[in-house]
Structure 1
Amino acid sequence: MTFHRFVALGDSFTEGVGDPDETRPNGVRGWADRVAEVLAGDDFTYANLAIRGRKLLPIVDEQIEPAVAMSPDLVSIYAGANDVLRPRIDVDVLIEAYDAAIGRLTGAGALVVMFTAYDPGGSPVFGALRGRFAIYNELVREVADRHGATLVDFWRLRDYRDDRLWDGDKMHMSAAGHQRMAIAVLDALGVDHDLAPLRLDERPVLSASDRRAANLEWARSHAGPWVKRRLTGTSSGDGLAPRWPQLAPVVAAG
């Protein structure tokens, strides 16, 4: 399958947070850049409108029409996880808006790639929200089925139980996680590629006191600021612009 105009939409998952590359806008690379590098050819351009911290309705309001204006033949969109993490949500309102957005994209002629959210069942931090994520994901599957979208079922990718596929904040994928997701997207699209999982470091052996110290450091460095943003109504994406706001040839990895 050959694509010519790929536009990636969403939040930190698609922006590339957790996959650092200081040579790129916002200092990250991510799975979407990795996919675009595989798809790149003489007549291929790529845009990435995703911004970290964005919830579903702002993604729909801010990113769908600019994407449609680019006449893409391939669009990826990941949205909703930031909403599900909030204390209270109306999942039916979210899905109604998501359904309309996917219909707009497919109606414009794009092949759309959607994602379920990760299964947090093994997480001591977010495990309590597993039921809410399961409900949301099943509704996302229904939207994908209704519009003929290609679905990457993150919930069912069991290798993400390995914490080495996650960044130190326990919320975003690491470089290895982004590489694994790029492989999953290309496989779902039926695109031939030679991407392979990144080599993982050996797991450190930690004593009980080391684990306690690591958990305290995580709470101070990541959990605390995350909670503060929720309480103050701010976002990690405030003040950031899309990394690749217009279709352009792909920047190759350095």
Structure 2
Amino acid sequence: MNSGTKQHPWSRYVALGDSFTEGIGDPEPASLGGYRGWADRIAEVLSAGTDDFAYANLAVRGKVLRQIVDEQIEPVLSLRPNLITISAGGNDVIRPRSDPDEVAVRCEAAIERLKRDNATIVLFTGPDLGFSPVFRGVRGRIAIYNENLRAIAVRQECVVADLWALTEIQDPRMWAPDRLHLNALGHHAVARSVLSALNVANVLQAYDPEPMPDGTWRGARTDDLVWARTYLAPWLLRRARRQSSGDNLLPKRPTALSLNGPRA
């Protein structure tokens, strides 16, 4: 067993959700699908010292809660995991005129289905996006949804990974150039938070990999213009057309596979 990693009760881990769980923003050619992300990092830690550990990731970018329920829950259950992470509803809540209470009702129904085999289930609160000029306006809806999720976790006996309280990821250096997804540093911080919620000791260190150095004010303004043209405009256009970046894409790890071992 790796030094600093204690034994845990899980041998089969399945992640479901959207781009956050798929690992978008954390490119890694050596990872299946070309992205690593926090779920892969958690699986790497949990696999240490567990010979029969297996991991699947069914998340697909752009999916709303209805699609996650319709397309991912039955495949998850068929894999018979004893650890499940689900981050869902975020793409619903940020949409105009969405009702976070109604989204939470549908989320709880999904959790009830996932509980069929008594797996440990981890839920995620949404991050505090008050620092983001683009998403500051939906901060209240995210907070309402989070309170619903905390209540669901109590009723359904789920573990909560509290991203709202994870102030590290409010640092702009934690975010990918598109400002919609976490980068490697942000995914690393989330992995540490989830492992802490699961009470799994590990050797992951804060701010490792090191953050990029701060840029100049002029450089930041230039970056804003490039970002708006490259990322924001296409995102708004997809929303207007009711399209998703995940349309016609398949999960990166649809089958529970063993891992060769943890990576730093």
Equivalent position to 1:96, from 86, 105, 120: 105
Match of 1:203 in 2: 213
State the match for 1:32 in structure 2: 39
Secondary structure of the structure 1 residue equivalent to 2:129? coil
Which 10-residue stretch deviates more, 18-27 or 174-183?
18-27
- C-alpha displacement of 1:244: 0.5
Q: Which amino acid aligns with 1:199?
A: P
Report what 2:230 is aligned to. Answer: 221
C-alpha contact (below 8 Å) 1:164/1:200 kept by paired residues? no
2:145 aligned residue: 136
Quote how far apart the aligned CAs of 1:93 are: 2.8
CA deviation digits over 1:137-166, x for unaligned, max 9?
111111111101000110011111211111
Change (3 A) 1:104 1:215: same
Aligned counterpart, 1:175: 184
The offset of 1:29, in angstroms, is 0.6
Shift of 1:248: 1.1
Match of 1:19 among 11, 23, 26: 26
Deviation of residue 91 (structure 1)? 2.7
Name 1:44's counterpart in structure 2: 53
Secondary structure of the equivalent of 2:248? coil
SS at match of 2:182: coil
Please tell me whether residue 53 in structure 1 is matched to residue 59 in structure 2. no
Partner-residue secondary structure (3-state), 1:156? coil
Does 2:95 align with 1:86?
yes
Letter in 1 for 2:11: H
| Aligned partner letter, 2:126 | A
Distance 1:238 1:25, change over 3 A: farther
Alignment partners' CA distance in 1, 2:66 and 2:140? 22
Letter aligned with residue 162 of structure 1: D
Report the CA distance between 1:107 and its aligned residue.
3.1
How big is the shift at 1:194? 0.9
Mark the CA change 1:241 to 1:121 in structure 2 (over 3 Å): closer, same or farther.
Answer: same
One-letter identity of the residue aligned with 1:48: N
Judged with a 3 Å threshold, the aligned counterparts in structure 2 of structure 1 residues 205 and 248 are, in CA distance, closer, same or farther, namely closer
Scaled by the length of structure 1, the TM-score of the pair is: 0.95
2:116 aligns with one of 107, 110, 115: 107
* Aligned match for 1:187, one of 185, 196, 219: 196
Q: Unaligned regions of 5+ residues in structure 2, if any?
A: 1-7
Conserved 8 A contact 2:174-2:211: no
> How many residues in Structure 1 have an aligned counterpart in Structure 2?
253
Please say if residues 13 and 43 of structure 2, whose CA atoms lie closer than 8 Å, have aligned partners that are also in contact: yes
- Pick which of 229-238 and 196-205 moved more: 196-205
TM-score in terms of structure 2 length: 0.91
How far is 1:23 from its partner?
2.5
Q: Give the match for residue 127 of structure 1.
A: 136
The aligned amino acid for 2:210 is L
Q: Is the CA contact (8 Å cut-off) linking 1:21 and 1:28 kept in structure 2?
A: yes
Unaligned runs of 5+ in 1: none
Q: 1:201 to 1:119 in 2, by over 3 A?
A: closer
The AA in structure 2 aligned to 1:22 is: P
Residue 251 of structure 1, CA deviation: 5.1
Question: SS at 1:123's partner residue?
Answer: coil
Distance (Å, rounded) in 2 between the aligned partners of 1:93 and 1:201: 38
Larger mean CA deviation between 100-109 and 141-150 belongs to 100-109
Query: Aligned letter for 2:38?
Result: W
Looking at structure 2, the residues matched to 89 and 50 of structure 1 have their Cα atoms a distance apart, in angstroms, of 22
SS in 2 for 1:155: coil
2:231, 2:257 → 1: CA distance?
A: 34
The one-letter code matched in structure 2 to 1:164 is R
